[in-house]
Amino acid sequence: MRLLIVDDEVIIRTGLASVIAWHELGIELLQPAASAEEALTRMAEERPHILMTDIRMNGKSGLELAEEAMLLIPELEVIILSGYDDFSYAQQAIRNGVTDYLLKTSKPEEIIRTVLQAKGRITDRWAEKSREEQLLRENRERLFADWVIEGNHSGVCPAFLEFGAASGQSTPAEREDHSANGYRNRQVALIQTKGWSGTSDALLRFAVQNMLQDVLPGSVAQVHKQHIVCIVPAVSEDEVSVYRLEAGLSQIEQWLKCSLRAAVGKPVHRSDELHHSYHTALTAFRYRGLLDAKVWRYEDIRTRQGGKSVLTHEEETSLGTLLLDHNPVKLTAWIRELMTGLMHEPNVTPGSYAACLHSVVIAGHRWLARTLQAIGREHTARIEPWTPEPDKDAAALGDELFHHLYELMHVYHSRMGQGQAAHVQKAIGYIESSLTQDVSLQQVAGRVHLHPGHLSELFKKEMGVTFGDFVTDMRIRRAMDMLAVSPAKVSEVAAVSGYEDVKYFSRLFKKHTGKTPSEYREHVLLYKSSGI
């Protein structure tokens, strides 16, 4: 808070300036002025909050100075310095708006008390003004949220959201101005901010909000949750609007050293359609993890129907092999390649993207359960389920997916046996993951780094059956599981079980179960319906 002392007597003004430690009172003492005229020339630039002036001076008096100073700074606190002979003048000054007076013979503590009282009055006014501004800001935010975000149009549209020329309520001059600038519509943009760490995120959003109205004249912006909702003027060509928004965001990025991205909703030409523009912007905003653009439109993603949502059998096999290999680096590369492929699909949506990642999780759990069952281990570990959030960034989803799969991989390998039993268990795991393909003894031996003959001997010793019989048994068991729960055709069940020849599969299935695949399915359905 700034104090200006004015007195044409050098002893008085220098004494007042030096006898009191003003800085300890939270007061910034400006260079004292030797006359009312000097004070008035400095007033506009230095903007003091408190003026302490002698009542009698050469040239303009202190009363004249106070009167003119309060015209320049209406909230100025004025303290008059007077002698005994000037007491009547001082009383008149107080009646004219001067806030207080002091005798020149006042003790320092009296001067301090008077100045602090003036400081307190100023602080109270600032607090009241701050409360009023806060109430106005909160009311504006509530109106914005009701009208634009919630779509509550039961009342009159707030004045700051009116469209002017587009709303039909503007003056001819306003309509001419809108026409000259090419503004036909408005559209809502949702802006994502990044680049400031931790607790500074909210401050960054606030700073960007304040700058938007400077770099994008005619815009209205408000922070909502974790992003900024901005209504921007739209010119006749939507692509031009996107270019203007991108240029504005780039300018703010340079100033604030941050990163900004925006999704733009449909242009609308009435204020009561702003909620629709917001809704379409929100739809487009959900694609932020799938697109590389700084600014993108609802029109860019509107026709997308969804891309790949489940893993192929080949991809499930690759995943199982990676989990068996216990190689985090290769697993990370596989996830990155899968996610990149999904993002580049022209019809991908956040929903289909998340669904495909979820199918990876399901495949991982299915692999773990089957593999542990195949090696005779119980699946007792409690693994929290994970469902991808479509709105999350691709990088964050990739990290979460990796950690979940890594946990599955750790559970399996922590249950592996030691020595020869471990080799056989790893071989069984590979067989379980590769049943849809040709599985030969040579291939499996290569995966577990053993000679085929040695692996064959270990298999017979540990499992009591030959390698070939074990593979056949696992395939038939998989076919039995699918026939019991899936309406898939017999040919499809055969393919998933590793048999391209349906007739051969059917003969082999009957040999092991005593029934054809169709008879087995009917038997299971009858068993379930009878409740036995």
What's the CA dihedral at 70, 71, 75, 81 to 10 degrees?
0
Q: Given 124, 154, 172, which residue is the final one in a domain?
A: 124
Q: Tell which residue, 49, 16, 56, 15, has the closest CA to residue 35.
A: 56
Has residue 98 been placed in a domain? Answer: yes
What does pLDDT average to over the chain? 85
pLDDT band at 168 (very low <50, low <70, confident <90, very high): very low
User: What's the number of domains the chain is made of?
Assistant: 4
What angle (nearest 5°) sits at the alpha carbon of residue 408, between those of residues 406 and 413? 95
User: Among the three residues 239, 270, 301, which one is the final residue of a domain in this structure?
Assistant: 301
pLDDT at 381: 61
Q: Give the pLDDT mean for 386-411.
A: 83
Is pLDDT above 50 for 202?
yes
- 208 lies in the same domain as 288: yes
pLDDT 10s digits, 234-270 = 765 556 678 889 999 999 999 989 999 999 999 998 8
Confidence of residue 102 (pLDDT cuts 50, 70, 90): confident
Each residue's pLDDT tens digit, 427-463: 887 777 776 677 788 888 887 778 888 888 888 888 8
- With 70 as the cut, is the pLDDT of residue 175 above it? no
What is the distance between the alpha carbons of residues 194 and 261, in angstroms, rounded to a whole number? 9
Query: Do 359 and 332 fall into the same domain?
Result: yes
Residues pairing with 2 in the sheet:
28
Which residue has better confidence, 418 or 439? 439
Over range 307-323, report the average pLDDT: 88
Helix 467-485 to helix 419-433 angle (10° resolution) is 50
For 135, 136, 138, 144, 329, the CA distances from 132, given in Å and listed in that order, are: 5, 6, 10, 18, 58
- When comparing pLDDT for 399 and 391, which is higher? 399
User: Which of the listed residues 301, 322, 338 is the one where a domain comes to its end?
Assistant: 301
Task: Of 77-81, 323-327, 401-405, 504-508, give the lowest mean pLDDT range.
Answer: 323-327
**What six digits make up the tokens of 288?**
């932020």
The reported pLDDT for the residue numbered 317 is 83
Encode pLDDT of 24-39 as tens digits. 899 999 999 999 999 9
Parent domain of 501: 471-530
Distance, CA of 499 to CA of 492 (rounded, Å): 9
Rounded mean pLDDT of 204-226? 90
- Confirm whether 379 is domain-assigned: yes
pLDDT for 182 equals 43
Burial class (CB in 10 A: 0-12, 13-18, 19+), 384: exposed
Quickly count: other Cβ atoms within 10 Å of residue 477's Cβ.
17
Per the CB < 8 A criterion, the answer to whether 99 and 116 are in contact is: no
Q: pTM for this structure?
A: 0.62
Residue 207 lies inside a defined structural domain of this protein: yes
Asked if 265 and 349 sit in the same domain, the reply is: no
For residue 303, what are the β-bridge partners?
A: none
H or E element in which residue 188 lies: strand 183-194
Specify the pLDDT at position 172: 41
Domain contains 218: yes
- Average pLDDT for 355-374: 87
Range 311-316 contact pairs with CB under 8 angstroms and sequence separation of 24 or more? 311/356, 311/359, 311/360, 311/363, 313/436, 313/496, 314/436, 315/363, 316/363, 316/366, 316/367, 316/433, 316/436
194 is a domain residue: yes
Least confident among 39-53, 56-70, 391-405: 391-405
The rounded percent of the chain whose pLDDT value lies above 90 is 41
Residues 20 and 99 in one domain: yes
Q: Does residue 281 carry a pLDDT above 50?
A: yes
CATH code assigned at 511: 1.10.10.60
Q: How many CA atoms does the CB half-sphere of 493 hold within 13 Å?
A: 26
* Distance set, CA 27 to CA 40, 45, 48 (Å): 20, 18, 11
- With a CB cutoff of 8 Å and minimum separation 6, the contacts of 95 are none
Please give the structure tokens belonging to residue 476. 């038939």
Of 13-22, 228-237, 429-438, the range with the lowest mean pLDDT is 429-438
Residues β-bridged to residue 295: 262
Distance of alpha carbon 78 from alpha carbon 50, whole angstroms: 6
So what's the pLDDT on residue 505?
92
Residue 294 and residue 187 in one domain? yes
Assess whether 359 and 410 both reside in one domain: yes
Within this chain, do residues 15 and 119 fall inside the same structural domain, yes or no? yes
Q: Is the pLDDT of residue 67 over 60?
A: yes
**For 52-67, what is the mean pLDDT?**
90
CATH of the domain at 29: 3.40.50.2300
Chain mean position to CA 398: 17
3-state secondary structure of 297: strand
In a domain, 466, yes or no: no
User: Do residues 321 and 259 share a domain?
Assistant: no
- Indicate whether 92 pLDDT > 80: no
- Work out the pLDDT band at 170, boundaries 50, 70, 90: very low
pLDDT of the residue at 132: 87
The most confident of 166-180, 300-314, 453-467, by mean pLDDT: 300-314
pLDDT, tens only, 125-150: 888 888 888 888 889 999 999 999 99
Q: Are residues 9 and 87 in the same domain?
A: yes
Half-sphere exposure of 330 (CA within 13 A, CB side): 11
**Residue 143, in any domain of the structure:** no
Give the model's confidence band at 532: pLDDT under 50 very low, under 70 low, under 90 confident, else very high. Answer: low
Determine, yes or no, domain membership for 434: no
**Domain shared by 337 and 262, yes or no:** no
Taking 60 as the threshold, does the pLDDT of residue 167 lie above it?
A: no
Give dist(CA 279, CA 265) in Å, integer. Answer: 7
Residues 280 and 341 in one domain: no
Helix, strand, coil in percent for the chain, rounding step 5: 60, 10, 30
Q: Say whether pLDDT at 294 is over 90.
A: yes
Weakest mean pLDDT among 170-184, 247-261, 423-437, 484-498: 170-184
> Quick check: helix, strand or coil at residue 190?
strand
**229 and 290, same domain (yes or no):** yes
Pick the closest to residue 251 from 213, 206, 202, 298 (CA basis). 213
Provide the pLDDT for residue 89. 67
**CA 14, chain centre distance (Å):** 57
